[in-house]
Amino acid sequence: MAKADARSGQRQTFRRSVHRNLTEGGGFIFLMLLPALLVVGAVIGVPMLRALEMSFNSIDFRRPAMAGTYGFHNYVRLFEDPDSWSAVILSAIYMFGTVVGSVALALSAALLTRRIVRFRAFWRVTFLLPWTVPAVVAALVWGVMYDGNFGIINRLLDHVPFVTGANWLINRETAFPALIVAQVWNEFPVAFIFILAGLHAIPEELYEAARIDRARAFQQFWHITLPQLRFILAVVVVLLMIMGFKSFPIIYILTGGGPAGATETLTVLTYNTAFRGLDFSYAATLGILAVIVSIILVLGYLRLVARLQDERGGQ
Amino acid sequence: MSWSPGWVRGHWTALFRTVALCLLGMAVLFPIYWMLVIAITPTGFSRSLPSIFPQTVTWQNFTSLFADRPMARWLVNSIVVATLASFLSLVFGTSCGYVLSKLKFRGAGLIMIGVLVTQMMPGTSIIVPLYILFRDVGLLDTMSGMVVGHISLVIPIAIWMSKGFFDRVPPDLEASARIDGCTRLGAYFHVSLPLALPGLAAIFIYGFVTSWHDFLFAHSLVHSQQLWTAANGITSFRGQYFTLHELQMAAALVFALPVIIVFVVMQRWIVSGAMTGSVR
């Protein structure tokens, strides 16, 4: 009798400890993490590893007999290929251009709408609207507007003296900036939301104190607004860097990488190598290169931010 | 009313602000206005519009969208996929973000970085292996496959954002709930989740828009026309030799409308959500 009691007591403590583990301890952590990590691991992690494997293989549909030949040949080709280097540089310029453009536009829009009282919701929605347009559609609209013969941009420029329109997407010099403008228009609302939220979080007393000290608007911006926005700007820039580096639909639809490779960023080159060149192994290698380059750029940027904060005494 | 220098300067700045705001707003709105103008132009005439104001107005593009093409079907697909994907990402992502924010355990930093790295892989370079994987497990050309794919796009951001929200929930609140006998799970459901609610709304919107707009996965992982999402449907007006701009812009506007409505209704939440997430 006493034995049975002890056993059921043991079972109870066991059950209780399992319950405790699942609602409090390591089991809880595991169960809460599992679904998210499982999906990300399966859908992105596994293909990433698969791409890594492919990058050492030779899966090229124009030379099917080569499949199964493993080696470093794709990486050797990567270093010798001038296209891959120019693609890395173009990706970096594109990323830089879209980050600077988006932050500048979002910051001006947020500063101008911050103290607005009337039509506040209207202005907010106005600056959020480009985000409702998917990149694919944004590319199509800008394509119509950029058109050399019929595009509205050239038609409007006809009315401006001393300025002539251009074949925006066909000229080597104008194609790349034109793409950056379209991309900035499409993605700056993301930065706008974050910066506006950050502005509203700055305590009003700081500005009142500055006004008593008769600080000019620019001085207020430089000594209060910017330092207070530091953290949020750092987050926004990382987000925009990743978005800009990965950007595909706008470039692909508007120029497809042309004219003559002038806009062939790493993502577009990867796509063209895979789906036009049918060399899937080399495309995978380019994808690995893209990951490495973007990790270097993002980590480098984060280091820079950390160092700047240290210099300013941190906070 | 005195014409003191300060008064004059103040009004000039206000005027300058208003003019700058209007100019910026017009520049930002112009492409959307132009979409509208093209969408109400009779098919085939948008290439030679004489002025920036619409001359002839027709609604035919909108009606033919629903009459001749399965636009309604595509929209329903988009709504189903985007709702499921953003809801599931929210549930999974926030629980992950909560654990990463509130509990100290080894490997937490590694998980945060690992999740961020998955976001850096350009979609174009994982699409081939993903296609093979989906084919092998039978998710190719199915709605559930699309939902799973979109969850993987949204969850990493959901984890990062929700960790930010939970970081802002004061630890004392949870501590006192736990003294009252709440378990970790109980404290999560009854204390932290309700406090992070505006932020969760922002995550849901972000996920919805990401899934709604996704083109690469939608285009590569689903072939059957009746399973297409609207993002995929819109590009079908872009032919190999010529493009039906008017129909396409009409479709784009119809496609953007649900998101615009969500934004108008929830703009306050979007801003405050972004705020709770990332301002420290």
Q: Domains for chain A: give ranges and CATH numbers.
A: 13-56 (no CATH), 80-311 (1.10.3720.10)
Closest Cα to residue B93, out of B218, B214, B199? B199
- Name the DSSP letter for residue A170: T
Long-range pairs of A62-66 with CB within 8 A, sequence gap ≥ 24: A62/A277, A62/A278, A62/A279
Please identify which residue in the block is written with the tokens 């380059």.
A293
Yes or no: say if A142 and B31 are a contact pair by the CB < 8 Å rule. Answer: yes
Query: Which chain B residue is nearest to residue A250, measuring alpha carbons?
Result: B215
pLDDT the model gives residue A314: 43
CA atoms within 13 A on the CB side of A42: 15
How far out from the chain centre does Cα B86 lie? 9
Whether residues A231 and B278 touch (CB distance < 8 A) is answered with yes
The amino acid present at A201, given as its one-letter code, is A
The answer, yes or no, to whether the previous bond of A259 is cis (omega within 30 of 0) is yes
- Name the DSSP letter for residue B48: G
CA dihedral (B56, B62, B68, B72) in degrees, to 10, reads 180
Is pLDDT above 60 for A236? Answer: yes
Among partner residues A40, A48, A274, which is closest to B155 by beta-carbon distance? A40
pLDDT the model gives residue A1: 54
Average pLDDT over residues B209-229: 85
Residues in chain A, overall count = 315
ipTM above 0.95, yes or no: no
CA B220 to CA B125: how far, in whole Å? 12
Contacts of A51 in chain B (CB under 8 A): 121, 125-126, 128-129
Among partner residues A40, A147, A232, which is closest to B118 by beta-carbon distance? A40
CA B139 to CA A10: how far, in whole Å? 46
How far out from the chain centre does Cα B137 lie? 28
CA B76 to CA B211: how far, in whole Å? 13
Yes or no: say if A169 and A149 are a contact pair by the CB < 8 Å rule. Answer: no
pLDDT tens digits, A196-217: 878 877 778 888 888 888 877 7
Q: Is A60 helix (H, G, I), strand (E, B) or coil?
A: strand
Question: Predicted confidence band at B239 (pLDDT cuts at 50, 70, 90)?
Answer: low
Query: CB under 8 Å to A92, separation ≥6 — which residues?
Result: A293, A297
Helical segments of chain B, H only: 5-39, 60-68, 71-102, 108-120, 123-137, 143-168, 171-179, 184-187, 193-195, 197-213, 216-221, 230-235, 245-278
CA dihedral (B151, B156, B159, B160) in degrees, to 10, reads -150
Is pLDDT above 80 for A64? Answer: no
Query: Between A26-40 and B71-102, two packed helices, what is the crossing angle to 10 degrees?
Result: 150
Q: Which of A136, A154, A239 should one mutate to test binding to chain B, selecting the residue with the greatest count of B CBs within 10 A?
A: A136
pLDDT tens digits, A295-315: 888 788 878 877 877 766 544
Among partner residues B124, B249, B260, which is closest to A248 by beta-carbon distance? B124
Yes or no: say if B217 and B133 are a contact pair by the CB < 8 Å rule. Answer: no
Is pLDDT above 80 for A243? Answer: yes
Is pLDDT above 70 for B275? Answer: no
CA A141 to CA A186: how far, in whole Å? 11
Please identify which residue in the block is written with the tokens 């609209």.
A141
Whether residues A36 and B103 touch (CB distance < 8 A) is answered with no
Contacts of A32 in chain B (CB under 8 A): 95-96, 98-99
pTM of the model: 0.83
pLDDT tens digits, B34-74: 989 988 888 777 776 767 777 777 888 888 888 888 888 99
Backbone angles phi, psi at B45, to 5 degrees: -100, 0
Query: CB under 8 Å to A106, separation ≥6 — which residues?
Result: A127, A188, A189, A191, A192, A195, A236
Average pLDDT over residues A71-94: 88
Around Cβ B106, how many Cβ atoms within 10 Å? Answer: 6
